[in-house]
Chain A
Amino acid sequence: MTADDHANRRQFLIGAASLAGGMITVLPVTDARATPDTMQAAIKKVVGSSALRKGKVTLRLPPLVENGNSVAMDVAVESPMTANDYVRAIHVFNEKNPQPNVVSVRLGPPAGQAKLSTRVRLADSQRIMAIAEMNDGSFWSDEVDVIVTIAACLEDPV
């Protein structure tokens, strides 16, 4: 073995080590689940330049879903629902379905209670976000992570 060989091997090892190091630093980024851009864009369309705050909204979905074709979803917003203080709209968004929108509802003081139940399709394990728009123009949100074992949209049509 020549000194040159050693140098090559050393360089190779250094290279491999830095590569591994690079992977370690890269991994947390993918792990942090950067919210897909389409969802952000759809949210932006609704919220505009207003601030989106957490709270007031309760989004309920089962944490573990066996069949993504039909998943019960509840959204409740804390609000007295009076003529001066009410929820104007509720929007639900998802990260990984083909489209970011799930449902958008408009309601008002006649509702008495800002609560909505429906059934949704989920194409993958993902984060769902509900946004409530108040009559004063403020936006509130809640997020839920859902694990889906059988995704919607994948099974063969009957």
Chain B
Amino acid sequence: MARTLINVPPKAKKGEVIAIKTLISHEMETGYRHDNVGKAIPRDIITQFVCTYNGLEIFRADLFPAIAANPFISFFTIATASGAFEFKWTGDNGFSQTETANITVE
């Protein structure tokens, strides 16, 4: 399991635009590097990140090797109702991780 850091405000007013910040620890090996004996290091990156809010997809990102190690992604959404955000990262070599965060909307 990769370590993640997720920042969602615990409380928000209805209709407020909130910032969501996510970070996951991952090498993001580009596939363009070589080891010390000249052998190519195979690509191992996170290729997709999806965020859903109470089951509705609000943000999706396709990542490429040009994304730095430990991908940080920050975006916005409108707080509509109390509930849960689900964050899912998928990648090479069967990488898949899901995290959730709750929000209370007043």
| Cβ A120 vs Cβ B59 within 8 A | no
How far, in whole Å, are A136 and B76 apart by their CA atoms in the complex?
21
Of A103, A108, A112, A156, the residue contacting B67 (CB under 8 A) is: A103
> Is A70 touching B66 in the complex (CB atoms < 8 A)?
no
Pick from B62, B63, B69, B76: contact of A69, CB under 8 Å: B69
Contact of A112 among B34, B71, B76 (CB under 8 A): B76
Tell whether, in the assembled complex, residue B66 and residue A120 are in contact, meaning their CB atoms are under 8 Å apart.
yes
Q: Select one of A102, A116, A153 contacting B75, CB under 8 A.
A: A116
Is A112 within 8 A of B61, CB to CB? no
Listed in ascending order, the chain A residues whose CB lies under 8 Å from chain B are 69-71, 94, 97-99, 101-108, 110-122, 152-153, 156-157
Given the contacts A118-B72, A119-B72, A112 and B53 also touching, CB distance less than 8 Å: no
Kindly name the residue among B35, B66, B68, B75 whose own CB sees the greatest number of chain A CB atoms within 10 A: B66
| B contact set with A: CB distance below 8 Å | 17, 21, 30, 32-36, 41, 53, 56, 58-69, 71-78, 80
Q: Which of B21, B72, B75, B80 contacts A105 (CB 8 A)?
A: B75
Contact A118 B67 (CB under 8 A): yes
A69 to B27 Cα, complex, angstroms: 12
- Distance of A110 Cα from B80 Cα, bound (Å): 9
Known interface pairs A103-B64, A111-B78; A118-B71 also in contact (CB < 8 Å)? yes
Q: Tell which of B32, B59, B60, B64 touches A102, judged by Cβ atoms closer than 8 Å.
A: B64
| B62 CB, min distance to chain A CBs, angstroms | 4
Complex CA gap A38/B58 in Å reads: 30
Q: A105-B59, A111-B58, A153-B30 are in contact. Are A97 and B66 (CB under 8 A)?
A: yes
